[in-house]
Structure 1
Amino acid sequence: MTLLAGKIAFVTGAGRGIGAAAARLFAREGARVLLAARTEAQLKTVTEQIRAEGGTADHVVCDLADAAGVRGAVERTVEVYGRLDIAFNNGATIQRPGPLDVLPEAEFDHVCAVNLKGVWLAMAAEVAAIRATAGSGAIVNTSSVGSLMGNPELPAYGAAKRAVNSLTESAAVTYGPEGIRVNAIAPGNTLTEMIRAWEADSPGLQDRLIAATPLRRAAQPDEIAEAAAWLLSDRASYVTGTVLRVDGGARA
């Protein structure tokens, strides 16, 4: 029996990085997956990879800063597969590194619109879809180890992710009585396009992060996806309201 056998899964940020790794993993573990992201070419590539491996996947273009688009993407999952069981809210954007007093207001607003409001919009739509179709299910949000401490290089990003932790806990308390579990993962240094963009503006970033990580290496996106898959599975049936660090010990 595979980890997610028979589940219907919705994944945001599924065109690359952790989201793409998760979509592929969820399909290998038996889920039928609806991929959502802004870039259709990336979505098509991942969808075709899943299908080539014998999995079931479809995709929808979705900007997490667009409320109607977020709701429509979740509704599309139900249209294609008939219900929603599990959701992985992974999509996010990064800010330009630097102290908070030099960050343009428009960029702060965009980070919050995608990384916080986008998660809130998705969760609200997902809870409604799970309640109306499957009846019970699970949601996992992608936070960040950077939300668990002061974050001088990415202050807006860290603040939005810390707010996601709070939303996760509040949702777990609210929807637990209905059988809907809500958790978050807090990845550490992971080799994604996002962290490479950060490194381009912060030379030596990988050396600093690896030195602060007891396992002395960065994570691969697949390793982060494994944690999300477990939390979404029935094997985590008594886990809700947690923010699980997947950081190589960086915050130990």
Structure 2
Amino acid sequence: MPINKLETKNKTTNEKKVVLITGAAQGIGFATVKKFLKEGWAVAATDIKKKELDERVKALTAEGYDITGYVLDVTKYNQDKKVVDQIVKKYGRIDALFNNAGIVGHRPTILNFDPKLIHQAEEVNLWAGLYLAQLVGRVFVEKKIKGSIVNVSSLAASFVDWSPFGYGISKAAVDGFTRAAAFHLGKYGIRVNSVAPGYTKTEMAIKYDYSNPKLRKAAESKTLLNRWIEPSEIANAVYFLSSDEASAITGAKLPVDAGYTTTKESNLKSIYDEDN
């Protein structure tokens, strides 16, 4: 059962598991921060947006949760190392890494994309996660912790659609990274998996696609459950993969997409005019 705030506050640091979450100030990242805190973990929350991060950390600390904020540009390896070292110094350990930070990029296709923006998407969505997986993986091995790494894939990694060109490429690469890291780290008891969100009601999605009735309905119609996904539903999956409940799962991609990747057919009406 979830640990309440008072119990969480009274637990000593050494008794708690510690998770490092990137892109933690909003959307899926912040929903995951709240999930881990409610489950009794200490959270090292990082984001490039200092103001938003500070506000989140201050509010949660006031509620009695064990959370520390670190301003971080995940694409800077030296910054990553400094923050990882600070977390280990404060908590003495890291038990899980959630590589959540990511960017969408831009929509132009192969005929007119900007190479700089494609590289930027790859740097944030792929390389940043690799940097942190290396650094946190070393902590796991050094301290003999059978830790967990969870990456963020996407439905765009499996099926080509109108998602930004560079985004889909970078997320397909994340799938390869997840499998390779699971292979190399498995002998240490370290697990590496990914979640693959579908159309999720993050701040960015609400501002653009979800706020447009046509785009919102188009997305819904592609899912078996005919709806969008809440960030908290992704957070639940991340927590599961990071927890002991998933102790035998590694190298896997868990779709949290309301059935988007199950089929290309609509399930609202049979093509044979049969009753549903």
CA displacement, residues 7-55 of structure 1 (integer Å, 9 cap, x when unaligned): 1110000011000110111011010010011011111122123223321
Would the aligned equivalents of 1:84 and 1:133 in 2 still touch at CA under 8 Å? no
**Counterpart check, 1:209 vs 2:207:** no
- Which segment is superposed worse, 215-224 or 70-79? 70-79
Secondary structure at the aligned position of 2:260 is classed as coil
**Counterpart check, 1:236 vs 2:246:** yes
Q: Distance in 2 between matches of 1:14 and 1:106?
A: 25
TM-score of the superposed pair, with normalisation by structure 1:
0.94
Matched with 1:117 is: 127
Structure 1 stretches of 4+ with a deviation exceeding 3 A read: 1-5, 200-203
Distance 1:78 1:57, change over 3 A: same
Count of aligned residue pairs for this structure pair? 252
CA RMSD of aligned residues (A): 2.0
- Structure 1 counterpart of 2:93, from 62, 79, 83: 83
- What residue ranges of structure 1 are gaps of 5+ in the alignment? none
Alpha-carbon shift at residue 202 of structure 1 (Å)? 7.9
Matched with 2:179 is: 169
Q: Distance in 2 between matches of 1:98 and 1:198?
A: 16
Instruction: Give the greater-gyration-radius structure (CA).
Output: 2
Whichever residue aligns with residue 244 of structure 2, its letter is D
Q: Distance in 2 between matches of 1:152 and 1:215?
A: 21
Alpha-carbon shift at residue 153 of structure 1 (Å)? 3.3
Would the aligned equivalents of 1:141 and 1:168 in 2 still touch at CA under 8 Å? yes
- Which segment is superposed worse, 193-202 or 55-64? 193-202
CA displacement, residues 100-143 of structure 1 (integer Å, 9 cap, x when unaligned): 32221111111111111111111111101222235221110111
Secondary structure at the aligned position of 1:217 is classed as coil
Matched with 1:99 is: 109
- What residue ranges of structure 2 are gaps of 5+ in the alignment? 9-14, 263-276
Alpha-carbon shift at residue 200 of structure 1 (Å)? 8.5
Q: Distance in 1 between matches of 2:51 and 2:110?
A: 34
- Structure 2 counterpart of 1:42, from 39, 52, 72: 52
Which structure is richer in relative contact order (CA contacts within 8 A, separation 6 or more)?
1
CA displacement, residues 60-117 of structure 1 (integer Å, 9 cap, x when unaligned): 1111221111222222211221111111000001112232322211111111111111
Whichever residue aligns with residue 187 of structure 1, its letter is P
Matched with 1:227 is: 237
Taking the TM superposition and a 5 Å limit, the aligned residue runs for 1:52-91 are: 52-91=62-101
Alpha-carbon shift at residue 201 of structure 1 (Å)? 11
Q: Matched residues, percent identical?
A: 31
Q: Distance in 1 between matches of 2:211 and 2:176?
A: 29
Alpha-carbon shift at residue 194 of structure 1 (Å)? 3.1
Whichever residue aligns with residue 47 of structure 1, its letter is V
Q: Distance in 1 between matches of 2:52 and 2:214?
A: 29
Q: Distance in 2 between matches of 1:53 and 1:238?
A: 34
